[in-house]
Amino acid sequence: MTYNKADLILYNAQIFTLDEKNMQAELVAVKDGKILAVSNKSDLDLLTGPNTKLIDCQGMTVIPGFNDAHCHPIGQAITLLHIDCSPFNVKSIIDIKKEIRKQAQVTPPDKWLRAAQYNEMSLTEKRHPTRWDLDEAAPDHPVILVHYSAGTCILNSRALQHVGIRDTNDGIIFGMNAQVQKGIPPVDVAELEKGMRLASQKYLSYGITSLQDTGWNNSLNHWHTYKRYKSKDGLLPNRISMLIGSAGLEEITNNCLSMGCGDNQLRIGGVKIALDESTGRHHPPQEEINLHALKAHLAGFQLAFHVHDQYNLRASLGALSLVLRESPRPFHRHRLEHCMVCTPDLLVSMAKLRPMVVTQPSFLHYGGEDFMKTVPHDKFHCLFPINSYNRAGLQVALSSDSPMMPSNPLVGIYTAVTRKEVHGQELALEEGISSMDALRMYTLGGAYASFEEGIKGSITPGKLADLVILSTNPNKVEWEELKDIKVMMTIINGKVVWER
C-alpha cells in the first residue's frame, strides 16, 4: 500500500475513531489539516517522511475532538473576568465577601466590581447574599454579583444608585431587568478579548475543539465579533457554529447571510427560539412561539427551541408540528435545547416529530441535590431521560451550557453513564447510557447537530484533524473513574493547540 507522507502521526495509541466502518486503530496520520490515514502501527514507516512530526502516545487513548453543542463562549469569557464565587471557590457568604474585599483592595474606588457563579443552595447560609453583605465587602465600589443561572443578580447600594433602582430593600433582582442591563457599563473590547483568550484555553484544556454558541441574543454584531477574534492568530482556535437569536434573524438575512454561511472555522448555525429568555416570560404564548418558529423555518434555518420545563416542551413540540405541516422538511434536525424533563406521553410526540435533543447531563450532577428536593422520587426517570431518547430513535448531542455549568465533557459523560449527583446519590440508573454512547454524543452527536458530521465528529480519512489524547481509555475504566480522566493534548487542524 502506498501512502502520502504525513505532517503529523499519532502512534502507539488506543484510537477510538467513532467511525462505524473502522472503530479502532493504533495510528492516525494527518496531512494538510485533515486525517490522511487511520491504520495499524505496521504502517508507521510508510507514512513517515523527513518532515513528519511523530507523537508517541505511550498507550494513551485518542478520540475525536469534543463538540460542545450548547454553550455560551462570550458569556464564558465575561464570567472568567468576574470574581469567582462558584461553589468550587466559595462555601459561604463570608467567603464571597472575602473574595470581593480582596478585589476591592486592588481596584480604584467607584470602579465596578463584577462577581459571578454563586449558588445559594451551595452556601452554608442557604440564602442569597444581599446588598448589605456586598456593602460590607466593598463600600466604595458599585458591585454586581450574578447567580450561576444568570437569571438573578444582587447589587450593592452604590450599584443600585448607579442604575437608578430604589424599590428593592435587599438588592436582589430576580429575572431580567432592562434597567440593570442598561445601567452597568459593558466589558470593554480589550477586557473581552482577554476573557475570550482565557475561555478558549479553558475549552481546549478539556479537549473541546468545536463550540456551538446558542445565545438567544446573538446578532450580526456577535458574528462580526467572532470574525474579529478569528482574524487574530491564536486568540480563538476552537471552531465556532453561532446560532442566531430569533430577534436577530431579519438583520442576518438582510445582510445576505444564511444558515451554513462561513467556513469550518466560523459558521452560522440555526435560530434560537427562546421567547422565555428574551422576554422574561417563563411561559410565552403558543402563538408567539409558532410565529417565530415558522418565520425561521421558512427562511431555511434549523430551529433550536429553549426547553427548560414541561410547558416549553409542549409548546415547542406544538410549534414544530405546525412548521412541518406548513412546510415539510424530512431531515430538518430541529433541536430541543436542554429538554431536562420529559414524561412518557411527550416522548411519544417527540418520537413522531423526531427533533434532536441537545442536553446537559452536568445539570443533573451539580444540581442533583436541588432536583431531589423538588422532584418526587418516582419521577426521577423523567429527568434527563437520555436512555429513553436513545431508545426512541432520537439523535442526542451532549453539551455543557457553560458558563452555567463547568465545561468538562468527561463530567458530563460520567453523569450520563452513572446518573450520579455530586454527592454520589443515584437518580434513575435505568436512564444511564454506555460510556461509548456518551462519547459518541459528545463528538459525532455534536457534529450531527450542526450538520457537520461529514467533516468532523469521527477520526475518518478526509475529515478535519481535530483530535484529543486522553490519559485513560474511557471504555476500560470503572464508572467512577470516568470523571477523573485527563485531557493530555488537544489538536485542531493537525496542530497542537494545548497540552498538559
Q: What is the pLDDT of residues 141-167, one digit of tens each?
A: 999 999 987 778 999 999 999 999 887
- pLDDT confidence bin for 16, thresholds 50/70/90: very high
Please tell me whether residues 445 and 415 are part of one structural domain.
yes
CA distance 203 to 76: 10
Residue that is last in its domain, among 121, 150, 183:
183
List the grid coordinates of 342. 420529559
Q: What is the pLDDT of residues 73-89, one digit of tens each?
A: 999 999 999 999 999 89
Question: Any idea what the CATH number is for the domain that residue 353 is in?
Answer: 3.20.20.140
The CA distances from residue 58 to 42, 62, 204, 472, 500, in Å, are 16, 11, 21, 11, 15
Tell me what the mean pLDDT of segment 25-54 comes to: 96
Please tell me whether residues 98 and 194 are part of one structural domain.
no
- Tell me the sheet residues that pair with 267: 241, 262
Please tell me whether residues 380 and 414 are part of one structural domain.
yes
Please tell me whether residues 166 and 218 are part of one structural domain.
no
Q: What is the pLDDT of residues 59-116, one digit of tens each?
A: 999 999 999 999 999 999 999 999 999 998 999 999 999 999 999 999 999 999 999 9
Residue that is last in its domain, among 128, 157, 183:
183
Number of domains in the chain: 3
Question: Any idea what the CATH number is for the domain that residue 104 is in?
Answer: 3.10.310.70
List the grid coordinates of 460. 475518518
At residue 200, does pLDDT exceed 90? yes
At residue 258, does pLDDT exceed 90? yes
Please tell me whether residues 229 and 286 are part of one structural domain.
yes
Please tell me whether residues 208 and 332 are part of one structural domain.
yes
At residue 1, does pLDDT exceed 60? no
Please tell me whether residues 137 and 212 are part of one structural domain.
no
Please tell me whether residues 146 and 193 are part of one structural domain.
no
Residue that is last in its domain, among 161, 183, 205:
183
Number of H helices, E strands in the chain: 18, 23
SS3 304: strand
Contact 426, 371 (CB under 8 A): no
Q: Against a cut of 0.95, is the pTM above it?
A: no
Question: Any idea what the CATH number is for the domain that residue 488 is in?
Answer: 2.30.40.10
At residue 466, does pLDDT exceed 70? yes
Query: Which residue range forms the structural domain that includes residue 81?
Result: 74-183
Please tell me whether residues 272 and 299 are part of one structural domain.
yes
Q: What is the pLDDT of residue 276?
A: 79
